[in-house]
Amino acid sequence: MSAAVPPKILQGLVRDLHHVAIAVPDLAGARELYEGALGLTATEIEHVPDQQVNVLVLFAGTQRIELVEPAAEDSPISKFLARRGAGLHHLAWRVDDLVAALAHLSALGVRLIHDTPREGSHGTRVAFLHPKATGGVLMELVEDPAA
Ligand code: CO
């Protein structure tokens, strides 16, 4: 059943897990859980126009969680919430060179949602792989000049 997942497509490209993103209907409510109950350290809420979302980045030590709420009715997160409800949205992997990583994946015939980098939160550049290429889990590649 795993024939749709090409072997080793990200081998040598991935540095580490950059963040885990959770889709939420509203940041304020979710913030109470992650900042309050779990005690994570929150940064400022950032609007990411390219993906029509508001993002709250929280840290547990160096590990990063992103809460993502829709900023428009036709945001991809609105569609996700309508279909699946709040919960895990994607895993984001850090790469050194996003353009090179995307070229590598394209050459392997891996299905991508974005074949060129988009603007992510906090000065990052990001692109998503199609979940059909990654076992049903949405995955993002992140080039982060701050990391
Ligand atoms: Co992300």
Distance CA 84, CA 100 (A): 33
pLDDT of residue 3: 52
Give the residue extent of every domain in the chain: 8-143
pLDDT band at 1 (very low <50, low <70, confident <90, very high): very low
8-143 is classed in which CATH architecture? Roll (3.10)
Ligand 1 mean position, distance from CA 119 (Å): 11
Task: Kindly give the distance from the C-alpha atom of residue 58 to the centroid of ligand 1, in angstroms, as a whole number.
Answer: 12
CA 128 to chain centroid, in Å, comes to 7
Let me know: does 89 contact 128? Beta carbons within 8 Å. Answer: no
Q: 0.85 cut: is pTM over it?
A: yes
Q: What is the mean pLDDT of the chain?
A: 91
Measured between alpha carbons, how far is 137 from 116 in angstroms, rounded to an integer?
20
Q: What is the average per-residue pLDDT within 28-52?
A: 93
Does residue 142 sit in helix, strand or coil? Answer: strand
Ion ligand 1 neighbours, Cβ < 5 Å: 21, 92, 140
Other Cβ atoms less than 10 A from the Cβ of 61: the count is: 7
